Structure 1
Amino acid sequence: MEQTFQSAYQEEKRRLDATIAEIDRQLQRLRSIEVYTGHDFTEQVLEAGREEKRQALAKSLPAPYFGRLDFQGGKDLEPRPLYIGKIGVDHAEIGEQPMVIDWRAPIASVFYSFTGGDEPAAYEAPEGIIEGMVYLKRNLVIRQQILERVSDTFDRSSDQPAVSDEFLVYRLGENKDNKLRDIVSTIQAEQDKIIRAAKNTALIIQGVAGSGKTTVALHRLAYLLYQYKEQITAEKMIIFAPNHMFLDYISNVLPELGVADIQQSTFADWALQLLGIELPVADASETLAYWFESAGGMPEVTDEAPGRFKGSIAFMNMVRACVESMENASVPEADFIPWEGAVLSRDTILHWFHEEYKPYPLAKRKERVMARIHRWIEMELKKSPSATVLKERKKKASQREKSYASKWPKYEPLMLYKMMFKAAKMQAGWPEEVLKPIPGGIMKSTQKDLKQNIIREEDLPALLYMHYLLNDITGEQRFDHIVIDEAQDFSPFQVAVLDLFVKGHSFTILGDLSQGIHAYRGVHVWEEMSSLYAPDQTAYFALTRSYRSTMEIIEFANRILEKGVKSDLLAVPVFRSGNPVRLIAYGNKGQQRAQELRKGMQKLSAGEYRTVAILTRTLQDAQALYERLRPDMPELHLIDGAKKVYEGGLSILPVYLSKGLEFDAVIVADADEQHYGASAWDAKLLYVGCTRALHELWLMHEGPLPDFLQNMNEDIAVAGW
């Protein structure tokens, strides 16, 4: 066995050395060509191609590939060794098989989809389906041109021709830094199906914690740019993430895959910029805190909760009806008289507005009508009998034109939205039968917010929809593809509005209903989103395998879902065992809480763990604990929602801000029934906290544990240090 391994290692080392030498030769040749800076278009195009090749070769040089697939397919008489990397590299000689095949190429899909056995493997090529046999599937770890690991996950010549998870477990066992990493070398078959799914589909992905759904979505963007490079551009793709820190956390993945210029934003930032509104949006954490504190816990969420109601398609229909009702009330009542003796009848203006310019949205229609009126004035002015009369009529017409324009409604979304929620809505011309279904509590609370210029995230879909109905959207504002992360916190109205801004329903919508801690405004079942589309416009995938945490942590978290949420969306762990989860009581009735938490963090960070976090119940708890611990732990970071950069190392943050992040080790502070009650929402919140841990999870508490943490098996959880 050792001799076989050494033989394989030496074979791969020779191949690597030869590949690096060839890449370096090509790179030096391209660098020796003087960079063209002239104005000849043809030469500019050639230079752009050379520069793209220089960058690709330079990026490939440290680690040209990560996998080998020996495949006999099509017209091949013998198996061909195919080396797969992040970036494809051709031989210098035209017609030669590529030295390195891009991981997004059709044949590379076999590397990810093949799961062993004697059956043929197949991939879809431009010329049709190609079938063949896999003889070897090999993973390689190359860092800075050094071959560190050779691992055969399948070998047909072996006595045990079965795919092994050994390499995957090895990669999952690595410690975390402050950035999310690409998974291109360990993409699994179920993930690859999502990555390579058709473009013009609203893809909905339910993924358990740690299933890699965010990373899969980012790899899907890179794949779409490769597969549809003639149809889409990176600049016309956007990722919506829950906060700026999460955007920073995922910021390295796309550049590592050779992709740049994809837009990244929060929904609120993008919406406010598009609307031209400079008012701040109330932070989601403020809304969460308000709900929790006002109700003494998470209240029961009904469809009449403000976020649920304003996020519904029913409310979307109300907004549309209100905007459409303005059509009949838009044209001022009287004829337009620029000066005595000249009359443009209201009937003529109504004809222009309702007939000739009907295809235009209201704001554009008003612009067209006012421009038509201006041209009519100019024609009438030409009939003036003298220069003196012309001058007098011009002055009077200018004043009356401005006065007439001011009598039209102002088509500004925020102003109209405020009018929707005015008590005297009939005076504003709104149809009472349309607005009557708005619950009284929502009417009053929104009136109060808008009077104080407070906008909440659930108000933004309505404002965007109003903007669309009044102005339409330009080609520059329309995306080729949209990714929505943590989509369980989005509303159907949000997605329906975004669908107006994307071509061909091209979405990747991903989330986890078990982590729906913003249930007061998010979806409760994925059908709320899939029902927005025809059956052939949407597809649903479930990722149930968790790659993040050890078996012990996943089994512990699953018990929380089973007992606290009554959910069957349970994670299936990869076989990677670690230490049991620890349930640790504070000493001396909690008076030593800060010291105990400091002790725990120091114990965990003293070893090989690079990222350790304390998760508190509220932001106030995190801030207070940070002030207590910081003097003795200057390297400690507070994550409070205002931060835009995740710095790694030692962190303190409230549990609701930890979604999407992961740490080598996690301490959940105050995991008792006082801080986490018996509601499903409390259980979801604790589930989020527990599933942030890769290798080690400790829960510290003062009083009794919540019911859903009682009676955990000793092989999953143990008491004490």
Structure 2
Amino acid sequence: MTAYAAERAHLEASRAALRRMREETEALDLTDVGGNEVSNKLVADLIQERIAALADFRDAPLFFGRIDGRFADAPDVSTGTAPVEVAADPSRPVESFWIGRRHVHDHLGDPMVVDWRAPVSRSFYRATRTDPRGVELRRRFGWEGGRLTAFEDEHLADVGEQDAASAILAAEIERPRVGPMRDIVATIQPEQDEIVRADLGRTVCVQGAPGTGKTAVGLHRVAWLLYAHRERLARSGTLVVGPNRSFLGYIQQVLPALGEVEVGQTTVEDLVAHVPIKAVDDDEAGRIKGDARMAEILRRAVWSGVRAPEESLLVVRGSRRWRVPAYEVEEIVDALRARDVRYGAARDMLRQRLAHAVLVQMERAGESPDDRVQDAVARSRPVRAMADAVWPAVDPAKLVLRLLSDAEFLAACAHGLLSAEEQAVIRWAKPPRGVGSAKWTVADAVLVDETADLVARTPSLGHVVVDEAQDLSAMQCRAIGRRCSTGSATVLGDIAQGTTPWAAADWATTLRHLGRADARFEELTRGFRVPREILDFASRLLPHIAPGLAPASSVREAPGSLVVQAVRPQAVDIEIVARVRELLAVEGSVGLIAADSAIPGLAAALDTAELPYRHLGFGDGDDARLNLVPASLAKGLEFDHIAVAEPAAIAEAELRGLRRLYVVLTRAVSTLVVVHSRPLPTELADTATD
């Protein structure tokens, strides 16, 4: 049997084994195994998750690589501890491991496909001739859908040879991608693998230039952490936070394809959905509301209601009357304030402390009250009334409503922090009648979230991935940081792509607001998807938008991938539609990107040309290859071919328009066509080539 035939036979045997694993799981009879309805439901859910994880995607390869070598025994990871690297062991016989997206074993339990996250798989990604890590042969497989079509061998034991570029690896990286983002398990590079397998206990911040795969690295890191720390993270939970719903739609299939179906995905807006969002702040109001100073203002506002008692506490039980003097109540209040606990927790403590003061008097009078008596006193009307008077309950939304509506209250809480002019910018000109009628913005919702945490602690998850983090305000960072206060995070972004008025100038500040100042910092500068010609064109903007960053390099050269065409003003829509037709004739996804204000006109032009398209942000035309993308939604997305209309309009549309333009120009994987009638921004003009 030839090597090719043997590999195809192993593929069919592996698929049969996976099918058997799924059928065995489906056949499990676990009726009433939990002993009660809740436990039975939990077991049933776990079984369904297991069945979903064993799905065989016939159009995707079951394995993509193989390593032959001499390895020490792989450590057991069933305890939930992080797996250590498998060491080379020259004394052992040569073993073969097929590397794939999930583990598959035969009827005896022997592995037929090893999960890409397993310790031995690390050698597949990192082995070189100078550091073979026990690997003697590395084989990469070529696929067409789910069909194995080729393989390519590297003999790492041949130390005299030079590492050669992999044609299969290059083809997989450059393969057109229609539809949502795919996983990159077959193409993970050593520097990416180092980040993916970073320890759970450490937050990692990744500064990644366009095309370096930072988003994919973050998603694969979640998948690896769930493999290495399954039990721990199953209890505490994991979450991916993206910049908008279009982005989440783009990445939503990556983790399920890796067998992970329980990772939450959300936006900052949905994360802090305490109030309905009905309005949008202007840039200055959004900048001030997102400033870290607002945290102290809200803290002052929450605690401003605590006051000294105006009279003594009088509790009547039976025929006896017990009085706690006002000065003693004040001492209890002051002591609780000094404890630095959450407002709501301290308020609960207050009732118990007041009840205890009454019990002390009872004991002095010869009575023997127990805990039940103290609880009854704490629930009594006089104690509850005193607690409400000196430590009133706080409704977070109502408090923020008052802060943004009441000029005197805002001035008192913001004294020494915001100027009168800044206060006027964030104060509502016409105070709403109530929480339901207020025109809340996303920044307002973040303030409500901060206030809610001052009242009661926000539950923490085990791990949070936050993408496009350079665009987060300080208050948004605090909201995300609260969700991983006892866990860790993977922070992804690119300072050069910061487009919001409050975008980060450096990672140190962002990490401090996230509560992760000690995060491990990694920088990815080697691009794999975006051709060098396109990156060089877009990188002309870097000295103007992020002078401290080095331009990204690319492993790909694609002559002809960049076209910049000047046309008459009346011909922009006609020419852009013609260019889109040409791009649609080539395999791959197509994005048409323009300034938000130009999108309606382009939509009309596409309708007239009878070209079906999906309008990002509106959800229509979901099956279309062509995507009509407002520039404000382009961040984080990727298309094989992109047509950009009027770069000058994109640059002028907002305060950080050049950064937005940089984002737009770096979304293309194969082709970038720029059509303009107005002069290009001067930062790009000297590189234009028609």
Give the 3-state SS of the residue equivalent to 2:490 in structure 1: strand
Take 1:157 and 1:708, find their aligned partners in 2: how far apart are those partners? Answer: 49
- State the Cα distance separating 1:600 from its structure 2 match: 1.7
- What amino acid is aligned across from residue 544 of structure 1 in structure 2? T
Which string of whole-angstrom CA distances, capped at 9 and with x for unpartnered residues, describes residues 306-333 of structure 1? 5444444444344334444544x2x542
- Greater displacement, 105-114 / 413-422: 413-422
Residues 15-35 of structure 1: CA distance to partner in whole angstroms, max 9, x if unpaired? Answer: 33443444445555666x553
CA contact (8 A) 2:182 2:254 kept: yes
Matched, 1:236 2:256: no
Q: 1:14 aligns with which of 9, 13, 25?
A: 9
Q: Does 1:625 align with 2:602?
A: yes
Over 3 Å counting, the alpha-carbon distance change for 1:417 and 1:242 in structure 2 is: same
**SS in structure 1 of the partner of residue 295 of structure 2:** helix
Report the alpha carbon displacement of residue 106 of structure 1 after superposing the two structures with TM: 1.2
Aligned to 2:417: 437
Alignment of 1:467-478 (within 5 A): 467-473=452-458, 477-478=459-460
Deviation at 1:159, TM superposition (A): 7.4
| Partner amino acid, structure 1, of 2:100 | G
**Aligned-partner SS, 1:479:** coil
Q: Cα distance 1:609–1:655, how it changes in 2: closer, same or farther (>3 A)?
A: farther
Q: Secondary structure at the match of 2:179?
A: coil
Letter in 1 for 2:422: I
Q: How big is the shift at 1:469?
A: 1.8
CA deviation map 1:478-523 (0-9, x unaligned): 21111111100113343234333324450111011111111x1221
Q: Which residue of 1 aligns with 2:276?
A: 279
Whether contact under 8 Å (2:138, 2:153) holds in the other structure is yes
The residue that corresponds to 1:302 in the other structure is none
Of 579, 587, 607 in structure 2, the residue corresponding to residue 609 of structure 1 is 587
Equivalent position amino acid for 1:10 in 2: A
SS in 1 for 2:231: coil
Taking a change above 3 Å as real, the CA distance of residues 89 and 60 of structure 1, as seen in their structure-2 partners, is: farther
Which residue of the partner structure matches residue 113 of structure 1?
126
Q: Normalized against structure 1, the TM-score is what? A: 0.79
Amino acid at match of 2:443: E
1:658 is aligned to 2:634: yes
Q: 2:572 aligns with which of 593, 610, 625?
A: 593
1:443-458 to 2 correspondence within 5 Å? Answer: 443-448=423-428, 451=431, 453-458=438-443
Q: How far off its partner does 1:534 sit?
A: 9.0
Shift of 1:581: 1.4
| Matched residue, 2:553 | 572
Could you tell me whether the CA contact under 8 Å between 1:153 and 1:167 is conserved in 2?
Answer: no
Structure 1 residues 643 and 58 mapped into 2: Cα distance closer, same or farther (>3 Å)? closer
**Matches of residues 549-564 of structure 1 in structure 2 within 5 Å?**
549-562=530-543
Give 1:365's match in structure 2, choosing from 334, 346, 349: 346
Does 1:718 pair with 2:689?
Answer: yes
Between the aligned partners of 1:56 and 1:638, the Cα distance in structure 2 is: 32
1:107-162: per-residue Cα shift (whole Å, max 9, x none)? 11111122x223342xxxxxxxxxx3x21111113567531221235554597441
CA–CA distance in 1 between the matches of 2:609 and 2:517?
59
Distance 2:130 2:386 in 1: 82
C-alpha distance in 2 between matches for 1:110 and 1:644: 44
SS at match of 1:66: strand
CA contact (8 A) 1:234 1:260 kept: no
Contact 2:463 2:488 in 1 (8 A): yes
Give the partner amino acid of 1:349.
V
Structure 2 residue aligned with 1:128: none
Counterpart of 1:216 in structure 2: which amino acid? Answer: V
Offset of 1:264 from its aligned partner? 1.2
1:211 and 1:545 in contact (8 A); partners too:
yes
Give the Cα separation in 1 of the matches to 2:346 and 2:106: 59
Equivalent runs, 1:640-659 vs 2, <5 Å? 641-643=617-619, 647-659=623-635
Cα deviation for residue 422 of structure 1 reads 5.9
3-state DSSP of counterpart to 2:180? coil
Shift of 1:658: 0.8
Maintained 8 Å contact 2:631/2:650: no
Structure 1 residues 626-635 or 341-350, which shifts more?
341-350
Task: Report the secondary structure of 2:669's partner residue.
Answer: strand
Q: How does 1:184-583 map to 2 (within 5 A)?
A: 184-233=185-234, 236-272=237-273, 277-280=274-277, 282-283=279-280, 287=281, 290-291=282-283, 306-327=285-306, 329=307, 331-336=308-313, 343-355=323-335, 358=339, 360-370=341-351, 405=388, 409-421=392-404, 425=408, 430=412, 435-448=415-428, 451=431, 453-473=438-458, 477-518=459-500, 520-531=501-512, 537-562=518-543, 566=547, 568-583=549-564
Measured after TM superposition, the shift of residue 78 of structure 1 is 3.4
| Shift in Å, 1:211 | 1.3
Q: 1:145 to 1:614 in 2, by over 3 A?
A: closer
Q: Return 41-50 or 62-71, whichever deviates more.
A: 41-50
Change in 2 beyond 3 A, CA 1:646/1:77: same
Pairing 1:77–2:92 present: yes
Q: Is the 8 A contact 1:84 1:100 kept in 2?
A: yes
What is the CA–CA distance in structure 2 between the aligned matches of 1:322 and 1:49, rounded to whole Å?
45
Question: Offset at 1:169?
Answer: 1.8
2:427 is paired with a residue of what secondary structure?
Answer: helix
TM-score by length of 2: 0.82
CA distance in 2: counterparts of 1:148 and 1:12, whole angstroms: 10
SS at match of 1:455: coil
Asked whether the equivalents of residues 614 and 621 of structure 2 are also in contact (C-alpha less than 8 Å), the reply is no
Instruction: Indicate the percent of aligned positions where both proteins have the same amino acid.
Output: 25
Tell me the distance in 1 between the aligned counterparts of 2:185 and 2:464.
21
Task: Name the SS for the 1:521 alignment partner.
Answer: coil
1:651 partner amino acid:
N
Q: Which residue of 2 aligns with 1:67?
A: 65
- Partner of 2:398, secondary structure, is helix
Following superposition, the deviation at residue 359 of structure 1 comes to 6.7
* Aligned equivalents of 1:645, 1:255: Cα separation in 2: 24
Instruction: Find the aligned partners of 2:627 and 2:355 in 1 and give their Cα distance.
Output: 63
Amino acid paired to 1:70: D
Q: Measured at CA, do residues 621 and 441 of structure 1 come closer, stay the same or move farther in structure 2, by a change above 3 Å?
A: farther
1:706 corresponds in structure 2 to 681
**Residue 181 and residue 450 in structure 1: after superposition, are their counterparts in 2 closer, same or farther (change >3 A)?**
farther
Between the aligned partners of 2:145 and 2:590, the Cα distance in structure 1 is 28
Aligned-residue RMSD, C-alpha: 3.9
Whether the aligned pair in 2 keeps the contact of 1:421 and 1:447 (CA below 8 Å) is yes
Structure 2: gaps spanning 5 or more residues: 71-87, 362-379, 433-437
Change (3 A) 1:373 1:486: same
Q: Secondary structure at the match of 2:449?
A: helix
Is the 8 Å Cα contact of residues 65 and 138 (structure 2) preserved in structure 1?
Answer: yes
Counterparts of 2:463 and 2:387 in 1: how far apart (Å)?
A: 43
Alpha-carbon distance in 2 for matches of 1:675, 1:472: 42
**8 Å contact from structure 2 (residues 196, 217) kept in 1:** yes
Find the aligned partners of 2:526 and 2:504 in 1 and give their Cα distance.
22
CA distance in 1, matches of 2:295, 2:668: 39
Moved more, 83-92 or 231-240: 231-240
Counterpart Cα distance in 1 of 2:487 and 2:382: 47
Determine the C-alpha separation between the residues in 1 that align with 2:55 and 2:578: 46
Contact kept, 8 Å, 2:464 with 2:483, in 1: the verdict is no
- The residue type paired with residue 311 of structure 2 is A
Aligned residue pair count: 645
How far apart in 1 are the matches of 2:146 and 2:455? 57
> Could you tell me which residue of structure 2 aligns to residue 393 of structure 1?
none
